[in-house]
Structures are given as C-alpha cells and as structure tokens.
Amino acid sequence: MRQRYRFIVYLSIFLYLLSISLFIMERSFNRERDSLITRYRDFTRQAEEYRAIMASGVIERIEKGKASEGLSQIMNNLVNSLGLRDRLKSLRATGNRELKDLIEERVEVNINKLTMNEAINLLFGLENHPASLSIKDIRLKKDFEDPERIDLDIKIANYRKRQG
C-alpha cells in the first residue's frame, strides 16, 4: 500500500512538473508566433510600399533625371522660371547622403514675400519636375510687413542613381 501511495505521489509530481514545463513552452511558442506575425505584417507593408513606389514611377523619374544637373541648379532654374529670383533669400546645399543604390542630395530654400498663388506654383513645379524631387520639410510664415504675403522655408531632396 505504501509503495502504491509513493508511486501516486511521484507520478503526480512528475505530471505537475510536466504540465508546468508544457505551459512555459506554450508561452514561449506564442511569443515567437506573435513575433513572426509582426515581422510578416511589416514585410507585407514594406512590399506594398515598394509596389506603390514602383507604380508611381519614382524609379523611372530617377533614371530619367539629369545626372549632370545638381539640385541647387534645378532649384535655381525653377525659381528663375517663376520670376521669384529677386525674392530668393537663400539657397543652401546641406549635403549628400548615400543610401543603398541612390544618392540623396539635400538643399534648403528660403523665399520671402510670396503670394499664395506663387507658393502653389512653386510646389506644383517641384512635384512635376522630371527629376525625383522630394519635399522633406516646409514652413509657411506670414510676412511681418505684409500679412497677405508669406515667407517660405523648404527643404528638398533629390534622388539619383549611384554611379558605377
């Protein structure tokens, strides 16, 4: 009788320890499954973004963009074509950054005393330029002397394919 009692006690302890270890393993597998689901969702989101970029024609615009023409020259030509040269306060290149297969060139432009229509025309010109231009930051402030006019501070990036 005593042996049977011991056997039942040992068996119950073994089953208890087995159930605890199985519970811990289940929690670990659930965490790993959740991590994999999150990674899968991130991957599908990035794949959708990639498809959207490819569909929007950004890559073709990068390939068609003039490699010899820098972003400062592009902005200078755009400002001159809109007749805003006299109101251009500053045009400053802020450097290049190398990405995986691309080179990102950045520039800061400050233009004072613009009408809203002139600002819209400038933004339209940036958006529809054959080079792949991207607006990184834009600030509109009312002009102190003439509240009908605005001061525009804009940071723009241009993407080019890396040579070689």
Contact call for residues 125 and 78 (beta carbons, < 8 A): yes
Phi, psi of 129 (to 5 degrees): -70, 145
Contact call for residues 105 and 71 (beta carbons, < 8 A): yes
Residues 6+ apart with CB under 8 A from 16: none
Dihedral of alpha carbons 50, 54, 60, 65, sign:
negative
Contact call for residues 89 and 108 (beta carbons, < 8 A): no
pLDDT in tens, 78-129: 888 888 888 888 888 887 887 777 778 889 999 988 888 888 888 888 888 8
pLDDT in tens, 17-48: 999 999 999 999 999 999 999 988 988 888 88
Q: Using CB atoms within 10 A of its CB, is residue 160 exposed (0-12), middle (13-18) or buried (19+)?
A: buried
Query: What does pTM read for this prediction?
Result: 0.56
For residues 59 and 57, give the distance between their C-alpha atoms in angstroms, rounded to a whole number: 5
What CATH number matches the domain at 69-161, 3.30.420.40, 3.30.70.60, 1.10.1530.10, 1.10.3720.10?
3.30.70.60
Q: State which H helix or E strand residue 118 sits in.
A: helix 116-127
